[in-house]
Amino acid sequence: MRAPAHRDKSNQLLASLANFEVTHGKLPGIVPQAARDTFVAQIISSLRRIDFVRRLSGAGISDRRLDPHDEFFDPIKGAALLLRKGEIDEAIWLTFVGTQFGKHVTDGWKLAANVMGSFSQGPVWTEAQYRNDRAGFDAMLENNAPALDDWKTAGRYSNHRQYESRKPKHLSKVFNSFSNWQNELGGFRERLQFVHQERGQNPEEAFDGLYKSFSTVHGFGRLGTFDFLTMVGKLELAPISPGSVYLRGATGPFAGAKFLFFGDREYSISATKLEPQVDELDNYLMVGKQVIEDSLCNWQKSPESFIYFKG
């Protein structure tokens, strides 16, 4: 089953793929028409998810989205609201929280809400509260270790974060290292200014500078870093966008790229060598590197039959 899509956009993408193949040769992974149509459907699905986040800047958002004790808690919508209020560091913090835990397909933001709301037995861990009482946060995690160990009580990570530990010591390291990254130069604005001074204000160069600096954040790796920074860009918390698909360290997108270009997920080629070819594809599709990365990852899971993935 194909994703519902605007016919004009589908036709445009199909034509762009054909133009790419005229210059660069056939893409073996999408020789079957069903695979080609499914790949295009995944691209459109990814574009829609990005558009949804971008539309938050003009949407009505309740303060309830900021309260982890409220059933309507949503760190991503909360971050968009905080940006409007001019609270950039709190917005970046909630974007980190949203990326760290993710929204589980069944549990929603339950895990994020429990941690940020001290399992309803303590303070709400805003950026300022955490920065002023890191020891208190760590103690809260230790006190709730049995609850964290039980996913039915605590909630679950999203698919992108499903292998992350809920152990207190791990979470302490993640939060501590992120807070250090955010605040070691004074705050997020100062970090962005530092990157601009080093790399210039081109959105792709700024993204790359932040991406490389993020290696100090515990437990994120390539996927978490890419997800966090692309969300920062989509929420317009900073003028950044990926100039590459960043295949080095990737799993699903790398497998998808190998399947697309060679018809074999296990094809022997380095990410360094394949990455420019994938980036070149976007010069034809013009959908953005995040869309290419996301679409390759989801498409390779079911190449000839569209499945909607929430991430």
Residue 264 has a pLDDT of: 97
- C-alpha to C-alpha distance for 57 and 265, rounded to whole angstroms: 38
Residue ranges in the chain whose pLDDT is less than 50: 1-5
Q: How many angstroms separate the CA atoms of 114 and 69, rounded?
A: 8
State the first-to-last Cα distance of the chain, in angstroms, to the nearest integer.
Answer: 19
Going from N- to C-terminal start, the domains of the chain cover 17-54+249-299, 60-234
Percent helix, percent strand, percent coil in the chain, to nearest 5: 65, 0, 35
pLDDT for the residue numbered 309: 82
> Mind listing the pLDDT tens digit for each residue in 252-271?
999 999 999 999 999 999 99
Answer whether 104's CB lies under 8 Å from 155's CB. Answer: yes
Angstrom distance (rounded) from CA 178 to CA 125: 14
- In whole angstroms, what is the distance from residue 133 CA to residue 27 CA? 54
Distance CA 189, CA 117 (A): 26
Which tokens is 256 given?
């998808």
pLDDT at residue 6 in the model: 56
